[in-house]
Amino acid sequence: MAVDALDTRILRLLIEQPRTSVREYARILSVARGTVQARIDRLERNGVITGTGPVLSPAALGHPVLAFVHLEVTQGHLDEVGEALAAVPEIVEAFSTTGGGDLLTRVVARDNEHLEDVIQLLIQLPGVVRTRTEVALRERVPHRLLPLVQSIGLATAEPSN
């Protein structure tokens, strides 16, 4: 989907001021409220905007340990293992990957002992051959999309030759 300059301005406002009304966004952007709402609806329909809920902190929820667990999976069992991972609440994300493993999971835990318990659970899943774990020490760049939206906005604002 092509994202134009107005779309990027709307996305920036949604990121920077998520609790503001569509009416206020329209005022800030100097466009009609219906235009802003139609753009937001289109961005949602096309999968650019994928959610509007709160961003939660696993650490504040009592799970301050963050680890990335790579899983090597028996050939032909990727879907089954992926479904089994979805049943483990401490797995907050999972991706199939290329490289040293077949799946990469982001796991949160209450402490190191709890992390070990989760890893032991993962290694026992049918189809999992081995795991490799990396514990995060400190977040250096928090999850963010605003710089990407800004760079897209700059690219769409440049005149084409």
pLDDT at residue 27, as a whole number: 97
Is the model more confident about 84 or about 155? 84
pLDDT at residue 90, as a whole number: 98
pLDDT at residue 40, as a whole number: 97
pLDDT at residue 160, as a whole number: 52
pLDDT at residue 54, as a whole number: 87
25 Cβ neighbours under 8 A, 6+ residues apart: 10, 13, 14, 17, 36
Q: How does pLDDT run across 12-66, given as a tens digit for each residue? A: 999 999 999 999 999 999 999 999 999 999 999 999 999 888 889 999 999 999 9
pLDDT at residue 157, as a whole number: 67
Residue whose structure tokens are 């089994």: 84
**Helical segments of 3-159, H only:** 5-16, 22-29, 33-45, 78-85, 112-123, 146-157
Residue whose structure tokens are 């989907």: 1
Q: How does pLDDT run across 79-138, given as a tens digit for each residue? A: 999 999 999 999 999 999 998 889 999 999 999 999 999 999 999 999 999 999 999 999
d(CA 128, CA 72): 6
d(CA 43, CA 35): 12
Residue whose structure tokens are 């030759």: 161
Alpha carbon 126 to chain centroid distance? 27
Is the model more confident about 160 or about 55? 55
63 Cβ neighbours under 8 A, 6+ residues apart: 90, 108, 109, 110
d(CA 35, CA 29): 10
pLDDT at residue 52, as a whole number: 87
